[in-house]
Structure 1
Amino acid sequence: MSDSPYVFDVTAADFAERVLQRSQQVPVLVDFWADWCGPCRMLAPVLDGIANSYGGKLLVAKVNSDAEQALASQYGIRSLPTVKLFVGGAVVDEFMGVQPESVIRELLERHVPRESDGLRAQARAEAEAGHADAALALLRRAREDDPDNHRIDLDLAELLIAQGQAAEAEQLLRALPAKYAEDETVKRLLATSQLAAQQADAPPLDELREHVAAQPDDLAAREQLAAACILAGEYEAGMDAYLEIMRRSRSYNDDAGRRGLLAAFELLSGDDRVTPYRRKMFNLMH
């Protein structure tokens, strides 16, 4: 039994109240364990320490899987320890086995609110109301107050891109810690910032189309057209334009056609449209 006020035992009888309902207000980390499980005993004090460090902003609920077999079965527990994080009444993340404290904290950072998240919410409301300058000011203030909350950086980068400040957004994203290099949101924002930078100060999309049709050798305009199409959701037209740049000149702007296609693929990650265009790009490269 833990001495922490933020760690408690739960059963099937009170799981809905103490986990599902309470997770509407504060994240609840549910530790499925058993008496005979050595790794469970190793993990328990780590979870206690983490819970204490959050001071009530995170709770840890303990489920004895031997005594609560139906509950363990309901949540698909196959090995112990298994730890599931509940937010808003649903599982949002999980891990199995004994993990280093740093790994567990990294997982929690994505979900446990911080004081600076209040400013993020205010900034989001300002942005939705069309007050971009106010939103930017709030995010910059939040970043100064809590530089370790990198969710602020992502919000700020997204808003900067929307306001035509793609270069600053890219600089902000590339300064993130190395662990964010493979983060899907970061990769999407980097791709978007690259495309936004390519079509900065470009004329309207219809004018770009007319210009490229009249002057097909103007690769700078074609690059702007490709980026503008993709940012407007016209992915095939944009990728076709990048392929045409590759066909005409691999040396133009440091292989801009290929780099643009890679950015488009990032935005379309998992989309069936990527495969044929990736094949076409590969054929042009070889």
Structure 2
Amino acid sequence: MAESPHVVNVTEADFEQVVIAGSSQRPVLVDFWADWCAPCRQLMPILAKLADELGGAFLLAKVDTEAEQSLAAAFGIRSLPTVQLFKDGRPVDQFMGALPEGQIREFLSRHIESATDQRIAAATEHMTRGELDAAASLLAEVRAEAPDDNRLFPAEVRLALARGDYDAAADMLEHTPLELANDPAVAQLRGQLAFAAAAAEAPDPAACEARLAADPKDSAARYGLAAQQVLAGDYQAALDNLLTLMRHDRGYGDDAARKGIVMIFDLLGDDPLVTTYRAKLSRLLY
């Protein structure tokens, strides 16, 4: 096997430095093996290939259990091969046996950020700073390299929303990849699009509030204000306005208030507001 900077042999003497301390800098995948173990010999080249392919996203540390029996005993190794993943100085996951490459990739993906993931994250960070051209350039590079990688899809929709290109975002969501149809991130994007489009059509918040002061049953003003509150991150105020709209005008916009509340729940995920307002919604409905 060709030497690689991402694959090392470790012993009891350097395990602390290479694996325990080293896993604070990047994940370390420890392969407990033995020369007599045929599955170990099948597995090792796959692990080395992935270490090189991911360009140092993790370090592969090989432990010969025949020579390092005390290490094997310390980590409870009872069958070979056993592969443990260390992060921040401790083992966080493991698998046993010579798994197929696809299953090993899935195992690694739970813990190790790929170059593609890093660039998507960087593009998202550019969006939060309003650097939309930089975000678009990064996403275009990744799409050119991996045209079928659906991890790009949510970021591309977010970019369209950030640009105010709601028609493009709507078209993309209309053609959501099948495997992402039930993805919570896509549900959030649908909500963001609906609120962004509604906010764009509404007067500014001060004007909406003035209209509501004159007529508390102005449904369009209340929904427009709620949409703008969502975009500003004032979810509680938006939920209160949508509940009020439900009480006064349930039919407005084809049940837009109830649908809007559900979309905010999607946006908030596990936020405690969801539990509180789900109960309020249930009381109003039933």
Contact 1:47/1:60 (<8 A) preserved: no
Structure 2 CA distance for partners of 1:100 and 1:125, relative to 1, 3 Å = same
Provide the identity percentage. 33
Q: Give matches, 1:10-25, under 5 Å.
A: 10-11=10-11, 13-15=13-15, 17-19=17-19, 20-21=21-22, 24=25
Match of 2:192 in 1: 192
Structure 1 residue identity aligned to 2:71: E
Shift of 1:203: 2.5
Match of 1:234 in 2: 234
Is 1:84–2:85 an aligned residue pair? yes
Match of 1:30 in 2: 29
Match of 2:55 in 1: 57
Structure 2 CA distance for partners of 1:211 and 1:140, relative to 1, 3 Å = farther
Mean Cα displacement is larger for which, 247-256 or 7-16?
7-16
Contact 1:29/1:60 (<8 A) preserved: yes
Q: CA RMSD in A?
A: 4.2
Structure of larger gyration radius: 2
In structure 2, C-alpha distance between the alignment counterparts of 1:235 and 1:214, rounded to whole Å: 24
Shift of 1:279: 0.7
1:168-222 CA-partner distances (Å, limit 9, x unpaired) = 3455467555554565544444433332233223332222222233343433332
1:105-126 CA-partner distances (Å, limit 9, x unpaired) = 24545734337955874x5676
Where do 5+ consecutive residues of structure 1 fail to align?
Answer: none
Contact 1:120/1:152 (<8 A) preserved: no
Match of 2:147 in 1: 147
Q: Under a length normalisation based on structure 1, what TM-score does the superposition of the two structures give?
A: 0.70
Structure 2 CA distance for partners of 1:56 and 1:278, relative to 1, 3 Å = closer
Match of 2:70 in 1: 67
In structure 2, C-alpha distance between the alignment counterparts of 1:144 and 1:283, rounded to whole Å: 50
Q: Which runs of 4+ in 1 moved over 6 A?
A: 77-80, 90-93
Match of 2:273 in 1: 273
Match of 1:113 in 2: 114
Structure 2 CA distance for partners of 1:52 and 1:161, relative to 1, 3 Å = same
Q: Under a length normalisation based on structure 2, what TM-score does the superposition of the two structures give?
A: 0.70
In structure 2, C-alpha distance between the alignment counterparts of 1:202 and 1:135, rounded to whole Å: 28
In structure 1, C-alpha distance between the alignment counterparts of 2:40 and 2:196, rounded to whole Å: 46
Contact 1:120/1:139 (<8 A) preserved: no
Structure 2 CA distance for partners of 1:125 and 1:246, relative to 1, 3 Å = closer
Structure 2 residue identity aligned to 1:240: D
Mean Cα displacement is larger for which, 154-163 or 47-56?
47-56
Shift of 1:60: 2.6
Structure 2 CA distance for partners of 1:51 and 1:112, relative to 1, 3 Å = farther
